[in-house]
Structure 1
Amino acid sequence: MDGSAAPAPGNLPAALTGLVGRDDEIERLASLLRATRLLTVTGTGGCGKTRLALALAERRRPDFPDGAWWVDLAASTEHEHVATAVAAALGVAQSPGEEEAATVIRHLRPRTALLVLDNCEQVVAAVAVLIDRLLTSCPGLTVVATSREVIGVSGETVFRLGGLRLPDGDGAGAEAVELFLQRARTADPWFPATPDHADAVARLCRRLDGLPLAIELAAARVGVLGVAEIADRLDRDAAILRHPSRTAPARHQTLQATLDWSHRLLTEPERILFRRLSAFQGTFSLAAAEAVAAGAGIDPGEVVDLLAGLVVKSLVLPVGRGTGYRYRMLETIRQYGERTLALSGEREAVHAAHADFYLGLAEEARTGVEGSDQARWLDLMEAEHDNVRAVLRRDLPSRPHLRAGMTALMWPFWYRRGYYHEARSWLEQAAADADGPRELRAAVLTGAGVLAFLQCDYPIACERLSKARALYEEAGDLAGLATALQRLGSVAREEGRFADARRLHEESLAIWTELGDGAGVAASLDYLGFAAWLEGDAVRAVDLCRRAVAAFRASGRRQETAAAMINLGAATRLTGETGRAEAILRGSLEIARHLGYQEGIAWALHELALTLASAEPEPGAFGDVRAPEPGAAEGTTVAGMLRESLATHLALGDRWRVASVVESIAEIVTTPVAPRRAAALLGAADALRRTLGAPVPPAERPALTACVETLHAALGARAFADAWRGGETMTLDEMADAAVEAGGEEPAAGGPEPFDAYGLTGRELAVLRLVSRGMTNREIAGELHISAGTAGVHVSNILRKLGVTSRVQAAAMVRDAGPPGRAG
């Protein structure tokens, strides 16, 4: 005897490819299999159920002395063939006159075995009957089933399998990316995994929802197309996802075939609902499905049961738990549904019903986001935002003014949640339509003017708001007129025309008072208080803002309360009550974060940082002006608050506040440690203000003047002027980079920067400084408010420019040359 162990009984097929990822799923399934006798792995076609079930069976095979047995039911189209297929896989001969199910039971009754039934969906009823008989008659039997539909047997444990883990930054550690790279190198052994490819691969994997089959089909195209080309073509033609293997199952050779397989298993009412649900983007509610999909073959009362059937068949996924259930389709499935909808001839009618539902919801939300139930409506419209976008993108000849109506209703939400860039794009498109009703044109122009103001395009803001004002006056719409006057007053305030600002806000206040509109009155008081504290009249500002806060609180308007509290806190700081100012500003920040009010978060952080800095007994003595150590929470130090504020204002496009925050960073963070950089930042901020036509407000001038005097004394007039002029030539991004780097070491006066010869940009110098501290790409991303993928690209460029091949070598260069960083 050679002493070798006998082969384990069973017929598990050999895996031709390694299993990528799924470690957590395998652990969970192995645990479940110890506690149940029927475990069904269900999920949409192509999610990897078969491969996962095989890995599970291989892992648990030692627990079953009589073997692990595999039965592929993909070819079984008749219910009576199921027992036959199981008997054949077990190698059991049928006795004369004995039915096949009885033969299988006779064989398995005395055995402890694992039976895996793969691809059960097209014969699920027969599988359910057979499994029930087997489990009842064979006490040592455990069954694992894979199916796009739940089996529906008593005692069944269901495991819903989704896609592979998706990338959240540069794709590092993401299972979907790892699978793509492995399969891409099969198609093209020289496929480069460079930072240049990282974003494209991550985008493609997200586009494919992490579905293993779809990723493998996409990777097979790498030898012919670039990754970005594959992703772009997918939006036009999913037929590009075709498997080159001649031996792959027909249903897996194209994504279309996989979905055709699932579609054929639906009843006709389910098919109707399925194609109509493709009108939704992102997630949707049951109420939305009932409103959009009912009619012409589906009664409203049938929708819930049909939807449940699509969930059971893994074509629709539930999202959320308990009372918060919503639903979604994977994008690849939704696009398949769109194609069937187009072929059905129902597309325009379904899209019109979809548009009507969301226009009605937007009308309710417009009132809701300005009322006491603000937070709920903001969250609801956030959840529905993808569907609103879908309405705006579609051209419906039967709804000529739909886009204008939707944008007029949506801009207050977009403002509150910080969608400035997107909002301006939609509003400007709608504003170009001069044929709409007068009231609608005025509302669109108001929104367009407000968003232009928020991004500091003051001439455009004035033009849009002035046109809206004229239309409101023509229509006799006093509320609209008061709104336009308020917003024109805000433009005047930022341009430093304080007398005009006061006049416009007072005119607005008079109209709101006449109308008896308490919220309008509070808004005008708040705007007047804002102008007062910027002018330096802190006592008047406190009085006005305190009244505004009280009125907003009484009406339950939390976002407006938060904004008014920032004005109140800033004005209170100017009176010298820094402790009270801090409490007010922290309260505002808490509300703004709860609501997702991005402008309020950034603004409150700025004013809170100024308050904390002004409360310090010895300027520059507090120990948090430098960048926090790795692991410290951003936004918990003065420097961190200013960086977070700057990043958010930059993302919003609010350049007026960008200039103010950069000046604060120069004054508080940079001057004590890097005076040349501080002078350059002030020069950059001054150039930005001149471009905008927005001078430094009187309330902020004393701190700026004191900072300039300090820098003059530290640098001398010539060096100060040189640094200032250098700052004036910075782009907005370069200024932001320099501000983010604030807190670095100041190089020796008069000496060249140690890394000037390598041509590193300001952002690359900041990244290099963090690399030298041992930070990972993800930690660098958090520090600099960029994506991990972008950080990785910067690191790659830095290594190339320095002529080294590793981060360790780059860090050694920093240690030898001294800390990198530019002061001017």
Structure 2
Amino acid sequence: MTSFVGRREELTALAGLLARARLVTVTGPGGVGKSRLAVRAAARAARSFPDGVQLVEVAEVQDALLLGHAVLEALGLTDSTARPPLDVLVEQLAGRRLLLVLDGCEHLVAACAELVDTLLRALPGLRVLATSRESLQSAGEHLLAVAPLPVASGPAGLPDAVQLFADRARAVLPGFALGPADEPEITQLCRRLDGIPLAVELAAGRLRALSVEQIAARLDDRFKLLTGGSRGALPRHQTLRTTIGWSHELCTVQERLLWARLSVFAGSFELEAAEYVCAGDGIEADEMLDLIGDLINKSVLLRVTEPAGRPAGPGTPRRPARWSTGAAAVRYRMLDTLREYGGQWLRATGDEQRLLRRHRDWYLGVATWGEVEWFGPRQAETAERTELAHPNLRAALEFCLAEPGEEQIALLMAGTLWFYWVGCGHLGEGRHWLDRALALAPEPTEARAKALWVTGYMATLQGDLHRAGPALEECRRQALATGDDRALAYALHRQGCAALIGDEPGRATELFEEALWHYNTIGELNSNVLMAMFELGVAHLFQGETETGELWFGRVREVCEEHGEQWAYAYGLYAMAYAQWLAGDVRLARAYARECVRLNYLFRDLLGIVLGVEVLALLETEPAGPGEDCDLVEARVLQGAAHRIWQGVGKPFFGSRTFNGAHQECEARARAGLTEQEFLEAFELGAVLDLDAAVCRALGDEERPGGPGRLPGPRPSPRTPSPWPVRNP
């Protein structure tokens, strides 16, 4: 958003290092411009990396165990298995030529070093550019130490630090002009700031209210007042702290108070969150907007406009514009160094625990409201809102798990987020939080019951029945002992899922029917209930009771149309596609299956995507009508693509013989009609397709969005209209 000033020598040196080294770490003190330099260099080097350049903001991750999940998310790689994230990264990045930028590693140096060592040893096409206040001390690491900007004039003209000050001054004072009389004063000011870019920018921002002479005079006072840092710290660290402290001193009492309180946020946040968490005891809610504006003006807060959907990565384009709730919402973010400084002041006031609890309360509300709105026409907006809140949800969960007495809230929050873990491709992380919370809170409570069935549900989707069975049985026993009818309904429902994928459709039918009876008795109607109806229909279908199954699928369709629900609706489309294949209507089956893939692709639900792709592969072995031929090669290509997607879900078809039947039928037909070489080559062709390419192929689109080395474009919209148009009130 602002111009890049200077650093020509550093950019040249960094380009040379990236050309010959696989791991380069940019080091230097906080505020010296490591991140800006790394991003600039990475952008220039993008053409050398056909599979792209991707930024991972490590500074947002506080738990070393979540580092791998954060890298997966930044890359746009969705994995719902119980495998370690490092294993998933190695598998999904195999064969890629990619530059990974890890920004802000200093608080997780050991974890970053382990991740980098593992990835670089396993992936010869990968290079890593890291920024950190200290080196990673990894094998093969090349270091580039970033010094402050020059403050002495050279043959090229103005020193870079002075040029930076002048550039930022023009941004706040459009009429600002750097004359000969001003240059010595500004040069002296930049020299006193040691040329640290953050300090220079903060100083330039003060021109809104002060002259250059006044800034210099007040800076002298602040240096005298705010000395006394650690004697062992680098002078630049002391200078930066002094500069931030001086900026802090120039804030009003209310601005300082808000600065401290906003330090509880991780990543970006919206105005409403700041109003709820930070208002009161000295700050009125109606003053918040003006105070936030003041902090933006003083370069304490950044104003950011978040795009809809997660950042794009290799093989995973960002969500299309239809996911946006309208104009991009303005959010705010504090630089990490400033956030740390504000956190120290917050702790000094003795108010940190209260603010952390209010932060926790807000994001518990985000989770709770998201669960409510997941059933209805606002599912897309719910997914987007929860995605933007993800760093703060992590921070809130971490607080609950670290603070004695908060374990039940951790169970409640992690369980309530089931819709995000399951529906938006975060099964692995969801189980991480739930496992930790369940271990800390063994007493039988309503929150534990919910956490148990959610854990069992996610483990079932991963094909991990050894974990799913005990969790669901404990939930059922606790529900019976405590009279918790809701928990009993969910436990029975998810036990039915386990029976269905365990090749017991008869027992699954009984459990689903009992669960639906309980749901009806307590008046429960939501996406989970619709999934129970869908799954009951599948159980009947697998027992040869096609008409009964289709009756349940029709009921799912009716409720989805009535409420504008799309996630469960997409699974209904999968079942209807399968049913229509059994009935011999290939054209309608293909329309259903394509719409199933399209909708699940929008939600990032890998399980729904891969089930739809498997049906489409099977349908390629059938002529769509008189005079039309089947395409056995395309069937095998799609099977290869599905095989790769399954690796990010868990066991293919959950390890179920019943669900695997259609796949085996497709494979047998292809093997019978193709040569062995054609059979193997077509599968391998599909197995190398990344997610967006596989989905485009399945939907019949000829062009994949985006291309090598650049951000992909909008996700594809299939030409096949939805056979079940969902009413959007």
Q: TM-score, normalised by structure 2?
A: 0.60
Match of 1:315 among 277, 300, 303: 300
**1:582 paired residue number:** 590
SS at match of 2:101: helix
1:426–1:16 CA distance, 2 compared to 1 (3 A): closer
SS at match of 1:614: coil
**1:555 paired residue number:** 563
Q: Deviations over 1:744-795 (max 9, x none)?
A: 9xxxxxxxxxxxxxxxxxxxxxxxxxxxxxxxxx849999xxxxxxxxxxxx
Separation in 2 of the partners of 1:309 and 1:386?
25
Match of 1:649 among 629, 646, 651: 646
Q: Deviations over 1:473-505 (max 9, x none)?
A: 223232322221111111111111121111111
1:533–1:645 CA distance, 2 compared to 1 (3 A): same
Q: Deviations over 1:60-111 (max 9, x none)?
A: xxxxxxxxxxxxxxxxxxxxxxxxxxxxxxxxxxxxxxxxxxxxxxxxxxxx
- Amino acid in the other structure paired with 1:511: H
1:202 aligned onto 2:101: yes
1:618–1:369 CA distance, 2 compared to 1 (3 A): same
Separation in 2 of the partners of 1:361 and 1:448?
20
1:401 aligned onto 2:408: yes
Match of 2:329 among 324, 328, 332: 324
Whether contact under 8 Å (1:538, 1:572) holds in the other structure is no
Identity %: 24
SS at match of 1:327: strand
Match of 1:543 among 533, 540, 551: 551
Separation in 1 of the partners of 2:378 and 2:337?
36
1:264 aligned onto 2:271: no
Separation in 1 of the partners of 2:405 and 2:441?
18
Whether contact under 8 Å (2:34, 2:146) holds in the other structure is no
1:603 aligned onto 2:611: yes
- Amino acid in the other structure paired with 1:315: V
Match of 1:278 among 263, 268, 277: 263
Q: Deviations over 1:634-693 (max 9, x none)?
A: xxxx66655554444322x33133x7xxxxxxxxxxxxxxxxxxxxxxxxxxxxx4xxx7
SS at match of 2:417: helix
Whether contact under 8 Å (1:259, 1:333) holds in the other structure is no
Separation in 2 of the partners of 1:303 and 1:168?
37
1:415 aligned onto 2:427: no
SS at match of 1:254: helix
**2:392 paired residue number:** 387
**2:272 paired residue number:** 287
Separation in 1 of the partners of 2:570 and 2:294?
45
Task: Give the CA deviation at 1:391.
Answer: 0.9
Task: Map residues 623-634 of structure 1 onto 2, 5 A cutoff.
Answer: 625=633
Between 569-578 and 309-318, report the one with greater CA deviation: 309-318
Separation in 2 of the partners of 1:527 and 1:645?
21
Task: Give the CA deviation at 1:582.
Answer: 1.7
Separation in 2 of the partners of 1:216 and 1:694?
45
- Amino acid in the other structure paired with 2:585: E
Separation in 2 of the partners of 1:365 and 1:535?
36
1:597–1:220 CA distance, 2 compared to 1 (3 A): closer
Match of 2:352 among 347, 354, 368: 347
- Amino acid in the other structure paired with 2:331: R
Separation in 2 of the partners of 1:176 and 1:261?
33
Separation in 2 of the partners of 1:562 and 1:612?
21
Q: Which has the higher relative contact order, 1 or 2, with Cα contacts under 8 A spaced 6 or more apart? A: 2
**1:426 paired residue number:** 433
Q: TM-score, normalised by structure 1?
A: 0.53
Task: Give the CA deviation at 1:317.
Answer: 1.7
Task: Give the CA deviation at 1:447.
Answer: 0.9
Task: Give the CA deviation at 1:15.
Answer: 6.9
SS at match of 1:456: coil
Task: Map residues 727-766 of structure 1 onto 2, 5 A cutoff.
Answer: 740-741=684-685
Separation in 1 of the partners of 2:299 and 2:139?
28
Match of 2:511 among 483, 504, 520: 504
Separation in 2 of the partners of 1:648 and 1:431?
30
1:504–1:324 CA distance, 2 compared to 1 (3 A): same
Separation in 2 of the partners of 1:476 and 1:646?
43
Separation in 2 of the partners of 1:457 and 1:698?
20
1:593 aligned onto 2:492: no
SS at match of 1:319: strand
Task: Give the CA deviation at 1:219.
Answer: 8.2
1:263–1:287 CA distance, 2 compared to 1 (3 A): farther
Whether contact under 8 Å (1:241, 1:255) holds in the other structure is no
Task: Give the CA deviation at 1:325.
Answer: 1.4
**1:526 paired residue number:** 534
Separation in 2 of the partners of 1:176 and 1:699?
39
**1:487 paired residue number:** 494
1:374 aligned onto 2:387: no
1:290–1:594 CA distance, 2 compared to 1 (3 A): same
Separation in 1 of the partners of 2:625 and 2:531?
36
Separation in 1 of the partners of 2:611 and 2:355?
43
Task: Give the CA deviation at 1:286.
Answer: 0.6
CA RMSD of aligned residues (A): 4.7
Task: Give the CA deviation at 1:565.
Answer: 1.5
Match of 2:283 among 293, 298, 304: 298
Separation in 1 of the partners of 2:7 and 2:442?
63
Task: Give the CA deviation at 1:602.
Answer: 3.1
Separation in 2 of the partners of 1:16 and 1:562?
51
Unaligned runs of 5+ in 1: 1-13, 22-43, 50-160, 179-194, 209-214, 232-239, 627-637, 660-688, 724-736, 745-777, 784-824
SS at match of 1:560: helix
Q: Deviations over 1:494-521 (max 9, x none)?
A: 1111211111112122223434545566
1:356 aligned onto 2:361: yes
Task: Map residues 84-233 of structure 1 onto 2, 5 A cutoff.
Answer: 164-165=39-40, 167=42, 202-204=101-103, 225-226=137-138
**2:314 paired residue number:** none
Separation in 1 of the partners of 2:610 and 2:425?
11
- Amino acid in the other structure paired with 2:556: A
Query: Across the two proteins, how many residue pairs are aligned to each other?
Result: 508
Separation in 2 of the partners of 1:640 and 1:707?
11
Between 165-174 and 448-457, report the one with greater CA deviation: 165-174
Whether contact under 8 Å (1:456, 1:655) holds in the other structure is yes
**1:457 paired residue number:** 464
Task: Give the CA deviation at 1:226.
Answer: 4.6
Separation in 1 of the partners of 2:601 and 2:54?
33
Separation in 2 of the partners of 1:15 and 1:377?
43
**2:453 paired residue number:** 446
Separation in 1 of the partners of 2:369 and 2:259?
28
1:169–1:347 CA distance, 2 compared to 1 (3 A): farther
SS at match of 2:265: coil
Separation in 2 of the partners of 1:428 and 1:170?
41
SS at match of 1:328: strand
Whether contact under 8 Å (1:166, 1:206) holds in the other structure is no
SS at match of 2:570: helix
Task: Give the CA deviation at 1:352.
Answer: 1.5
- Amino acid in the other structure paired with 2:586: T
Task: Give the CA deviation at 1:308.
Answer: 0.7
**1:818 paired residue number:** none
Whether contact under 8 Å (1:407, 1:426) holds in the other structure is yes
SS at match of 1:295: coil
Unaligned runs of 5+ in 2: 13-29, 56-93, 108-127, 153-190, 197-234, 307-326, 689-706, 713-729
Whether contact under 8 Å (1:276, 1:337) holds in the other structure is yes
Q: Deviations over 1:342-376 (max 9, x none)?
A: 44433222211111111122222221213343222
Task: Give the CA deviation at 1:251.
Answer: 5.4
Task: Give the CA deviation at 1:532.
Answer: 3.0
Between 263-272 and 243-252, report the one with greater CA deviation: 243-252
- Amino acid in the other structure paired with 2:506: A
Q: Which has the larger radius of gyration?
A: 1
1:595–1:258 CA distance, 2 compared to 1 (3 A): same
Task: Give the CA deviation at 1:467.
Answer: 0.8
- Amino acid in the other structure paired with 2:432: S
- Amino acid in the other structure paired with 1:274: W
Separation in 2 of the partners of 1:313 and 1:740?
56
